[in-house]
Structures are given as structure tokens and as C-alpha cells.
Amino acid sequence: MNIHVVKSGDTLWRISQMYGVTINQIIAVNGLADPNRLVLGEALFIPAPYQQYVVQKGDTLWTIAQLLGVSIQEIVDANQLSDPSKIYVGQVLTIPVLYHTVQAGESLWTIASRYGTTVQVIAQANHIQNAGVIRVGQRLRIPEAPKPEIEVNAYVTEIEQAGADIVAPLTSYFTYISPFSHSVGEDGSLAPLKDEDIIRTARERNTAPLLVVTNFVGSQFSAERAALILGTPEIQDKLINNILTQLKEKGYVGVNIDFEYINPGDRENYNNFLRKVVSRLHPQGYSVSTALAPKISAGQKGQLYEAHDYAAHGQIVDFVVIMTYEWGWIGGRPWAVAPINEVKKVLDYAVTEIPRNKIVMGAPLYGYDWKIPWVKGTFARIISPKEAVNIAAKYGAAINYDETYQSPFFHYTDEKGQQHEVWFEDARSMQVKYDTVKSYRLRGISYWVLGNAFPQNWPVQAANFTVKKYS
């Protein structure tokens, strides 16, 4: 796997020749709308030859297997396909095996480096006894290198069929899909959510839905609503009964509780509520998880942080999603959404309180476009990573990369003379996040939020991890 940063004079043909892949492969995995328009500083994900295949109209697993010289079962296993007869146009499949013909001057080490695998893996696959002896013209089977297995969650805010259409082509990348959200009423009721299409789509594709429960009132988190629930045992009992009803009737596998901006005085009430939820749900086979604010110390002040007890959640629930994003936010100054130096500060604290195998790191699938000079009280515009690159191309802006934050950004001036600053995610910034998940040995990663076009992220994830499927 390689990530290529576009330089002056680059063309897709030149890049494809440099890495030994086809132009169409680069176009497909990066979702390039105009192959003739590359942006200076743009990061392109370069797949290993035939490591990713984008399903085309009329494809079947049999035709793909024949085209790429692998077995149907190898494709099924590599992509954890529950129903081999169901693949979808636009779906990116990992192809775990390819073949390489040895050229003069090559060694197993240089070949392994090219394909991102190891000498041992190639030697074992080809029954080579002496790794130092290969011959020119020899055809070697190159298996995909083993990858760590993680859990992956993705929140989705679109509902009904629109939400299902967003989810459908991406389910192979997820353990869980979390429709957002069911808010809690004053009486412990759950607000209805038209999530049936999403749940059905997820289930058909071997992806587990999670019931997300929030203290939303209107469009905001409510400390008062949380205080009422957490301070009233009778309402809690009704709420848990309603959660169980939803889990059973809709086919959810567990609940993800996202109570935010809780009064600091309700910290222990929240912990006790979670203990009660676990005691009711675990015996019936359901998981319990929570979403936590990104803290850097136990005593961190602020209403977003104080009632989120890392140590208690780490002991009580099955796993936590830490919302490691929104440093750069819609109402704040221009900044990276998830600067990796700040993310690591949170993780450095989190691993002292929560078992690593219970931590799911949050990652954004979006960016922001700010008007500058920034004025307090103004708001940025949410943009997708793909839209960010398109904006840079439209205005002839070069994309820069901040090495401290490990995040791309650029400036441009629009038709009205207004200056802008844009921060977003790309293949480089996501690779750093995946490396962080590996280095901290975390349970997995959680995306906020599906619906923002970011085609290159999915093959980057696939190149790094195997997704654990719920069983």
C-alpha cells in the first residue's frame, strides 16, 4: 500500500507507471470525478495491484474470480461475505491473492516490499525452501499479508431508504451500524426513528445494528432531561423496558448510550444507571456501550467532561466510543477536526482508566470550510473530503499538510473575494489514525458520520485491518 502526494507535473499515467497499477484502479479507489484534474498536494491512495476491485455492473463473484485468477472462496473469506450471491455496484472488494512474475534483479525481499507483505508469507505460499533462491520468469503467488482484526462502528443520521442506500455499499467495512438516534422522553419513552430500512440492510449484509439512545431535546443535548432520567429510578425502569422492547422488535444487538452535557453532580447517578442497564441487558445477550467526551484527565473541568467517568465506564460497559474529534468545530476557529497530537493526549489518559480492548477511537469523515478572518459567532460549512478536493481544484488551491496535526488544509478566495480556510481528512490523515489504533492496541474505530463522500477511506481501512463481524 502506498499514498502518493501529487506533485507538479504529475499525471495519472505517470503515477500508475510509477506504482505498477492501472489508471482505472487509481480512479476507482479514490473516487476521482475528473481524472485529468489532479490537485497539487492531493493525497492519492495507491492500492497494491489487484488488491482492491470495484464491482462493476454485471459482475458476479465468478467473473471477478476468473478475471483476477483467484477462487470465489478466497474473495468470500477476505471480504467476510455472508451471501456470495449478493455484491453491489460500487462495492470495493479486497482481492487477497495476486501473481507476480520474477524479473531480473528481483529478490523475495524486494517483491515482498512492493506488495506490502513479508518474505515468509510469500515463501510459505509458494513452498519455497530457500528464500534466497528464486529464478527469473518464476510465477509467484502473492497472498495478502495478515492484518489485525478490529471492530468498526459507523453512525448514520439519514433514515429510511436514504440511510439504507448510504449504508448498503459499505457494510463490509463495519462491525456495527448505529442509526442516530432515539432520544429519551420525560416518561422514559424512546422517540421513534424510521430505521427499519437501515437495520434490514445491515442485517442482510452481516453487519450488526446498535440502538443509539441520547438525551436529546429538540436538536440539542439536555442536561435537564438527563438529570430527570438519572435521578428517577421509576423512569429508568421504564426506559430500560423500552430499550429491551426496541432491541427485540427491531433486531438490534445492543445499545449505545450517548448522554452528553450531563450535570457534574449526576456523575455517579449516570454510573449507577449504566450498572442497572447492564444487569438487565447482559442476561438477555445484548451489549452495552457508551459514547464519551475526549478527556485528558480525570478532573477535567467543563460540563461536557465531568460526568463522564472513564474508570467507571471502563469497568461497567462492554466498550466505549471516545469522540476524538471536533477540536476544529462548526462554531470555532479554523483548525484540524481531529489533530492527532490532541487525539493521542486523550488516548494517553484513556488507557490508564479503561482496558485497551474496550476503547473504540472516534474518527471524522468530514471537514469544515471557514470564512477568514474568522469572526466569533460565525459558523463554518460542513464539507466532505471529496468536496474539499473539488473546491481546491476549482479555485486552483494547493493542498498543504500539517505535520503536527497530521491533517490536510488549504486556503482559497471565492468569486466574491471572500477568503476561506479548509481543514479535512484524506488518505494520509486516516492512515495516521489507523496506525494510532494499532500502536495503542485498541478495540477499534468509530466513524462520525456516514453520508459524506470519502471514497478513498474504505480501501485504506481495508489495507490496514480485517473487520470483526458480530456473531
Question: Among all residues, which ones are annotated catalytic?
Answer: 260
How far apart CA 345 and CA 169 sit, in angstroms, is 34
Q: Which residue type, as a one-letter code, is found at position 420?
A: H
How far apart CA 64 and CA 51 sit, in angstroms, is 12
How far apart CA 433 and CA 431 sit, in angstroms, is 5
Q: Which residue type, as a one-letter code, is found at position 59?
A: D
Closest by alpha carbon to 312, among 281, 347, 354?
Answer: 354
What is the crossing angle of helices 196-204 and 160-167, to 10°? 20
How far apart CA 155 and CA 49 sit, in angstroms, is 31
Please give, one letter per residue, the 3-state secondary structure of 221-289: ECHHHHHHHHCCHHHHHHHHHHHHHHHHHHCCCEEEEECCCCCHHHHHHHHHHHHHHHHHHHHHCCEEE
How far apart CA 185 and CA 54 sit, in angstroms, is 44
